[in-house]
Structure 1
Amino acid sequence: MNFRSPLPGFGRRRFLEAAGLGALAVTGIGALAACGTKDSSGAAKALTEVRYALIGDGKAEPGTVLSHNLGGFDLASDLGVPVTYPSGFPASLPVMEAIKAGSVDFSFATATAVIYAIGGNVPVVPIVSYPLPSNEVDILVPKGSDIKSAADLRGRRIADHQGTTGTYSLVKYLDSAGLTINDVDYVNLTAADAEAAFAQGKVDAWINWQPTIELARRKHNAATLPGVKTYDYAFFVASEDFAFDHPEVAATLARNVRDAQRWVEANPETAVDEFTALGGFGDSTLERDVYLDLVKARRLSYSGAGQFTAVDEGAIAGTQDLADNFHRLGVYPEPVDVQTWLSDSRFDSVRAAVAAELAQA
């Protein structure tokens, strides 16, 4: 087995490095000057702006709709304050660092990032959650490969980005055939390195999520294995200062995100045309076509955002299961009590505001 499990002493820096964030998240984003919303007396300051962090390329997601006022949305007008959109975050883990530094108010977060926030004492509040699309993850194998099912992966070399949605799906997929990570030759690679290794025949299979994996499938004329599922949840989160001091504004922002995603899903061709006009896909017709197909099929990470709710028992149980599996694998050095944290009564006022706002059509 080639699974490099962290040993005791696997702290914040090594966790970030394992997630592919390295020094950027530790000394770059994490070093931003704090700018909280309390005055010297501890009272809440008037809200002058909301900082909504956009993650990754932002090519087809509700944040892009809102930041460019597509579909008739005017978020700043609805919130009553200007909205800025910090970018340059490759994933949601460094956004947790930015929230801790006081430079971000609101953003998308994977379950992995929420678990890190719990263990890393990030002052974050879960606003809403939703299950990721069950078919968001795929395992690629070369066309004509003799690997046809989970059972055929025994002893094979599998590329995955350790500690991500793909890892969790791989664990569950292997379990369906009575296998564990110990039964395969596991290789921890970023998506770019994994694709190169797959194209060169250096790995037998590669697991990742959309749109990366569908783009790779079409580029390399690869096949996918049947029955691969996505099990974890996604969240939108806010800083404690923003959520606790301005719960109605945070709830209104969440509703706008939901409604923006609904607009994308109701108008996929228009939305992707708008994203294309903004330069989201460069000169790649393939990339645009893949995004359009995935938006229509609702297979992207944001595809469930049109139906999200205040954090419920399903999200709590699912995220706890992910944390328990990653602790068992050694990705997390200590157990993480997700259930107690996500159920904490100090979030009740925010939950109530969010539930009331989302009840609007």
Structure 2
Amino acid sequence: MLNKFSLTQLLGMGFAFVQRFQQPKIRTFSLLFAVGLSLTLAVSACSPSASNNATQETTSPSPAASASGTTVHIGYQKASTILYALKAKGELEKAFAASGSSVTWSEFPAGPPLLEALNAGSIDFGYTGESPPIFAQAGGVPLVYVAYDPWSPKAEAILVPKDSPIKSLAELKGKKIAFAKGSNANYLLVKALEKAGVQYSDIQRVTLTPADARAVFERKKVDAWAIWDPYLAAAEAATGARTLADATGLAPNRGYYLAAKSFVDAKPDALKIVLDQVKEVSNWAKNNPGEVAKFLSPALGIDAPVLEIAEKRREYDVLPLTDEIITKQQEVADTFYKIKLIPKEIKVKEIVWQGKVKNS
């Protein structure tokens, strides 16, 4: 139960910005996201304009089709291609073209603080990887899964230096491994070790942001590094790092579109408009990896050719949550509970939207 986790313990897990969120409404959730600090800082380390606070931008009111008078509040990350592109292209504003509605955009460095904002009622809709919503649900955040993005198991991996003597996952026993605690790469590492018959407690866990992990990896202060794209592609290009294992057959590495329950219940027409437009931009990204790389390069500070490698090994789509997908996400939740990264068991299916996502 949550009350078994003291503030001191959670601070010991590294979540330094708990005191920045003192509202009673979100304190418990802020504490739970102690394990998400590394993920929170990961994107901000590579995004010059990202900060620990959201940057609020409000577009001019524009007409809305069947959601008259609606204001939709969207949270996005620059590293989350689709919502960043949707904002930049202005397509959502065009879709709300019938009455005096508006769209606001709030930028976040990563998934955990984005979902804290959803919990506080600051945003209605956003996108994260598979791990943050699990922590959010365990913390009592009233969110709903509304669609998923297949992403790709090739888009995350466990790396070793190019001259490392390590040739198999079993050889990771006793070794120092860097990863962002509570991230998708954390889940990949757990499953990779499980496959190799190595206990999670049998490795030396070095929990760092991608930027710090890259530094110690290059200096060979750790033996391996579990990381995701585009940081994976950047490390491969710069260091010649060798992939010990990617997530194929181990972890789904999916992304999820999430909404506040109050928004889903009160404004289903607005939600459908948002999802339709997300789908349109997703189709563009799927068919234009080179253009996506050029589009993201200035924001992420990563060369376009490197980003294009990352783009070509990932998938884009906006798909409904099937029983199979829900089951796989439940496996992630159960794994994190097993190793005590979340304080209680959860049921993912209890917060899945029953509406329909546009198929084309």
- Which residue in 2 is equivalent to 1:195? 214
After TM superposition, give the deviation of residue 264 of structure 1 in Å: 1.6
- Which residue in 2 is equivalent to 1:242? 263
Taking the aligned partners of 1:125 and 1:49, their CA distance within structure 2 comes to 19
- Which residue in 1 is equivalent to 2:46? none
Q: 1:323 aligns with which of 333, 338, 347?
A: 333
State the secondary structure of the residue aligned to 1:236. Answer: strand
After TM superposition, give the deviation of residue 16 of structure 1 in Å: 1.9
Taking the aligned partners of 1:231 and 1:272, their CA distance within structure 2 comes to 23
Unaligned runs of 5+ in 1: 1-6, 33-44
Matched, 1:296 2:312: yes
- Judge which range, 124-133 or 145-154, deviates more: 124-133
After TM superposition, give the deviation of residue 297 of structure 1 in Å: 2.6
- Which letter does structure 2 place at the counterpart of 1:330? K
Q: 2:32 aligns with which of 15, 28, 43?
A: 15
State the secondary structure of the residue aligned to 1:122. Answer: coil
Q: How does 1:218-233 map to 2 (within 5 A)?
A: 218-229=237-248, 230-233=251-254
Matched, 1:252 2:277: no
After TM superposition, give the deviation of residue 95 of structure 1 in Å: 1.2
Q: 1:173 to 1:22 in 2, by over 3 A?
A: closer
- Which residue in 1 is equivalent to 2:164? 145
CA contact (8 A) 1:130 1:315 kept: no
Q: 1:79 aligns with which of 87, 96, 100?
A: 96
Taking the aligned partners of 2:328 and 2:171, their CA distance within structure 1 comes to 27
Taking the aligned partners of 2:148 and 2:32, their CA distance within structure 1 comes to 23
- Which residue in 1 is equivalent to 2:82? 62
Taking the aligned partners of 1:274 and 1:199, their CA distance within structure 2 comes to 28
Taking the aligned partners of 1:63 and 1:12, their CA distance within structure 2 comes to 24
Q: 2:343 aligns with which of 318, 325, 333?
A: 333
Write out per-residue CA displacement over residues 177-217 of structure 1, whole angstroms, 9 at most, x where no aligned residue: 11121222222222122111111111000111000122112
- Which letter does structure 1 place at the counterpart of 2:87? S
Q: 2:228 aligns with which of 199, 209, 215?
A: 209
Q: 2:114 aligns with which of 95, 108, 112?
A: 95
CA contact (8 A) 1:232 1:322 kept: no
After TM superposition, give the deviation of residue 52 of structure 1 in Å: 1.5
CA contact (8 A) 2:158 2:246 kept: no
- Judge which range, 205-214 or 176-185, deviates more: 176-185
State the secondary structure of the residue aligned to 2:106. Answer: coil
- Which residue in 2 is equivalent to 1:154? 173
After TM superposition, give the deviation of residue 12 of structure 1 in Å: 3.5
CA contact (8 A) 2:176 2:222 kept: yes
Unaligned runs of 5+ in 2: 11-27, 42-51, 57-66
Q: Over the residues paired in the alignment, what is the CA RMSD in angstroms? A: 2.7
After TM superposition, give the deviation of residue 164 of structure 1 in Å: 1.1
After TM superposition, give the deviation of residue 22 of structure 1 in Å: 11
- Which residue in 2 is equivalent to 1:265? 286
CA contact (8 A) 1:129 1:312 kept: no
State the secondary structure of the residue aligned to 1:335. Answer: coil
Q: 1:170 aligns with which of 177, 189, 193?
A: 189
Q: Number of matched residues?
A: 312
- Which letter does structure 1 place at the counterpart of 2:309? D
Taking the aligned partners of 2:287 and 2:130, their CA distance within structure 1 comes to 27
